[in-house]
Amino acid sequence: MEVKNANSALLSNYEVFQLLTDLKEQRKEVGKNKHSSGQQNLNTITYETLKYISKTPCRHQSPEIVREFLTAMKSHKLTKAEKLQLLNHRPMTAVEIQLIVEESEERLTEEQMEELLHTVTSILPAEPDAEPKTDPNLDATMDEEDPA
């Protein structure tokens, strides 16, 4: 087998998640037939990929959210790969965006960075249980160190 064009299309984690979930459901419907070693390898790869990808933000996305995000990204001067990484990783801080966007210091102003961060956090859903977690021990330590 020969790869003719390796970059003909980029898939988001959401698209891979949906594809593998649908594939898994189809195999359940077909039933348990004798599986070749190749089929067992496919099952293992599918299982491991779904296990990993279900821990990423894509689990909470939908086609509408992805479409809305990509529409909002048109105003930003980013490459397709950068937009895809923003979609897949859902950065929460400017530092995370700087790690994703190549040469962000030269390409984006402070205001553009904040606008990009706002766009990402407002459109892409957060983890349902991703509320800010505070460490009570840290708060107690801070109170002890504060002489006031």
User: For the chain, how big is the Rg over CA atoms in Å?
Assistant: 21
pLDDT for position 31: 64
Where do the structural domains in the chain lie, given as residue ranges?
Answer: 13-30+37-58, 61-123
61-123: CATH number: 1.20.1250.40
- Residue 77: pLDDT band by 50, 70, 90 thresholds? confident
Q: What percent of the chain has pLDDT over 90?
A: 24
DSSP 48-110: HHHHHHTTSGGGG--HHHHHHHHHHHTTS---HHHHHHHHHH---SHHHHHHHSTTHHHH--H
Whether pLDDT at 144 is above 60: no
Question: Cα separation of 2 and 99, whole Å?
Answer: 33
The DSSP secondary-structure symbol of 12 reads -
pLDDT for position 1: 53
Considering only residues 2 and 44, tell me which one the structure prediction assigns the higher pLDDT: 44
Tens digits of per-residue pLDDT, 117-138?
999 989 888 765 544 444 444 4
pLDDT for position 85: 92
Which amino acid, residue 104? S
- Residue 75: pLDDT band by 50, 70, 90 thresholds? confident
pLDDT for position 126: 76
Considering only residues 40 and 96, tell me which one the structure prediction assigns the higher pLDDT: 96
DSSP H/E element including 139: helix 136-145
pLDDT for position 76: 85
